[in-house]
Amino acid sequence: MDAPMFENTTEVSRYIILSVLAVSTTTSALCIFMAVFAGFSGAKLFKDEVEDGTFLTLLSKPTTRTKIVMYK
């Protein structure tokens, strides 16, 4: 004797699966968007410094390029 609220378990299961899938897809899309946005923002930052000439000053210092990028 099942309870009446669990009469249609296939619909409940389908709803839960679709909800989890929607949240997962949204989260993945948001992560990809944030990575692309960060890349474009970083590229713009370096472009502005190259145009100003301050990037050449940074490159003349005795540090590695990796450190310069990481400190940015």
Predicted pLDDT of residue 4: 57
Confidence of residue 25 (pLDDT cuts 50, 70, 90): very high
Closest CA to 72 of 34, 45, 38, 48: 45
Predicted pLDDT of residue 31: 96
Q: Please indicate whether residue 38 or residue 5 has the higher confidence score (pLDDT).
A: 38
Q: Domain range holding 12?
A: 4-71
Mind spelling out the 3-state secondary structure of the chain?
A: CCCHHHCCHHHHHHHHHHHHHHHHHHHHHHHHHHHHHHHHHHHHHHHHHHHHCHHHHHHHCCCCHHHHHHHC
Count of domains for the chain: 1
Predicted pLDDT of residue 34: 97
